[in-house]
Amino acid sequence: MEIDPFIFRLSIFILSIFIGYYVVWSVTPSLHTPLMSVTNAISSVIIVGAIIAALSGNEEVIFSSSSIYGFLAIILAAVNIFGGFLVTQRMLAMYKKKKKDK
């Protein structure tokens, strides 16, 4: 009578879609460009898979036919992670309120 973990993951997936829907609608339109860059950055959690793939070799064969794809994916994802978060930060740093004393 054990429930297949897949069902749980499906639940998590479906609930997250709802959250995505609401959380994105609540983003103020003036921040839609940073939204695009930050979603880009977070979708690079795919690096998790890349790391597992890259470390699938052993001490002798570090670059196997499968781990090499992992290493490539790591580079790609890392570009995105750093690029995405940093460019977002750069943009957000520019959004300033009017200074009171002006």
Interacting residues with a second copy (CB under 8 A): 2-3, 5, 8-9, 11-12, 15-16, 18-19, 22-23, 26
If the CB atoms of residues 26 and 65 are measured against a second copy, the closer one turns out to be 26
Q: How far apart are CA 29 and CA 92, in angstroms?
A: 14
Task: Determine which helix (DSSP H) or strand (DSSP E) holds 102, and give its type and residue range.
Answer: none
If the CB atoms of residues 11 and 33 are measured against a second copy, the closer one turns out to be 11
- Listing DSSP states for 57-80 in one string gives S-SS-SS-TTHHHHHHHHHHHHHH
By three-state DSSP, how is residue 53 classified? Answer: helix
If the CB atoms of residues 11 and 43 are measured against a second copy, the closer one turns out to be 11
Vertex 77: Cα angle to 76 and 80 (nearest 5): 95
Using CB under 8 A as the binding rule, whether residue 101 contacts other proteins is answered as no
User: Minimum distance from CB of 71 to other proteins (Å)?
Assistant: 5
Using CB under 8 A as the binding rule, whether residue 97 contacts other proteins is answered as yes
Using CB under 8 A as the binding rule, whether residue 100 contacts other proteins is answered as no
